[in-house]
Structure 1
C-alpha cells in the first residue's frame, strides 16, 4: 500500500478545499484508513481523489436530518416496508471508485452488515448496491452534478438525488441501460413519489425540518 501522494497532501491539513487531485486507488485506501481523516468525506474516481474536510452548514444539516424523516414517513405510509438509511457511509467497488454520499438507502432485505475486523466501508463486490444515494449541495452543486454523478453511475446505483439547497429544488436521476443517468420526475425507488414534492418540502425548510417533515407526511397521505 502506498502513502497518500504529495499532490493530495494539501487536502490533509483540515483546510476545506473542494478539489479533485490525481491519486491512485492505494492513495484512496490510505486516506480512508487515516484516523486523522475520520470526519472527512472521501471520494475516488478515474484516478482522482477528493477529500472534503468541510463541516455541514445549517441548511445542509437541516435537510440531511429531514431525509431520514422523509424515508420513515414514506415507507410507513406504504405499509411499513423495511429500509436502512446509512448516512455518510462509504461505498466502494475496488479499482472502480468509492465515495461517501450524504445518504445511502437500502430498501428491503440484504443490506450490509459489519463484521469485526473488516474495513468500515461497504464493498460492493460483497454486498448489493444501495437502491438510492443522495448528495445535499450547499456549496458543492457542480461537483455533485458532474464527477460524483459519473462516480455513482459507474457504481451502478439505480437512483441518485441531488438536493440544491440554494435553488430550493431536488434533482433525481435514474440509471439507464446505457449506464448513464437520466433525470426523472418520479422516483423509481420510492415508487410514485413526485420529485417536485421533495422540492416543495425543501421550500418549507426555513420553518424547521420538523414542520417540513409533517407537511410532507400530510401530502403523501393523499397520494
Structure 2
C-alpha cells in the first residue's frame, strides 16, 4: 500500500492595488517576496496596499518634472534640501510608505545613511514633502494615502494627476490637511507654476523646459 501523502496549503498571494487587512509582519514579508519586492508598498491602520502597476512614460516624465521644479526652486532660494525617489519611510509597527518622490527641506534635517534600510521616521523624522504621481492610483492617492501621510506627519503632500497635468496639494498639520495653492515648505512656490511646467513637458524637451523654469523662478 502506497504511503499517504498530503500537500501543505499554499499561502494566498496578497492582491495588488487594493487595501487588505494585514499585520506589520505581513507587510514586511510581502515586500521581501517576489514580485512584490519590485513594487511599492504602503501600510497604515493595520491595512497594507501593494502596487505593481507598470509605470508608463507619463508617470515617469511628470515625476521628473516635478522634482526639477522643487530642486530648482530650492536652489534659487537657498533652501537646504535632499530628495528621495521611491524611498521607503517606516514608522516601525505603525505605518510605511514609498512615495514616488520625497524631500527633506530646511536647515535642521539629518541626512539618512545611504544604505538599503528603510528610512526610520522615528530617527530622521517624516519627509517635509511627499509626492505621489497618480495614474491608475489617483483616487487612492487622494483618499487612503492622504490619511497615511497625515498620520505620518509630513509637512505637505502633493498628488499629481497624470492625465490632467494637475497638482492637488495639501498642507498637513495636527493630523489633518487642507488644500493649498501656494506651498509653505517651499515658501512662495505657486502650484499653478508646477502645473504649467507639467503642461509644457508634453511638448518641450528638458533643455527648453529647464530654461523656462530658470527664468520663471528668477
Moved more, 100-109 or 185-194: 100-109
1:165 corresponds to which of 159, 162, 167: 162
Matched, 1:206 2:202: yes
What aligned pairs does 1:26-105 form with structure 2 within 5 A after superposition?
26-34=25-33, 36-79=35-78, 81-105=79-103
Q: CA deviation at 1:64?
A: 1.2
Q: Are the equivalent residues in 2 in contact too, given 1:62–1:208 (CA < 8 A)?
A: no
CA distance in 2, matches of 1:111, 1:151: 23
TM-score, scaled relative to structure 1: 0.85
CA deviations over 1:140-168 (Å, ceiling 9, x no partner): 11110001000000101110000011122
Determine which structure has more spread, i.e. the larger CA radius of gyration: 2
CA distance in 1, matches of 2:156, 2:22: 27
C-alpha spacing 1:35/1:18, structure 2 compared with 1 (3 Å): closer
Q: CA deviation at 1:199?
A: 1.3
* Corresponding residue pairs, total: 207
CA distance in 1, matches of 2:53, 2:193: 29
Aligned to 2:104: 106
CA distance in 1, matches of 2:71, 2:177: 26
CA distance in 2, matches of 1:115, 1:135: 22
Aligned to 2:192: 196
Q: CA deviation at 1:58?
A: 0.5
Q: CA deviation at 1:6?
A: 4.8
1:185 corresponds to which of 181, 190, 207: 181
Q: RMSD of aligned C-alpha atoms?
A: 2.0
CA distance in 1, matches of 2:197, 2:67: 13
Aligned to 2:136: 139
**Which blocks of at least 5 consecutive residues in structure 1 are unaligned?**
12-16
Q: CA deviation at 1:187?
A: 0.3
1:125 corresponds to which of 110, 122, 125: 122
**Which blocks of at least 5 consecutive residues in structure 2 are unaligned?**
1-9
CA deviations over 1:164-197 (Å, ceiling 9, x no partner): 11122101100133x1110011101111001111
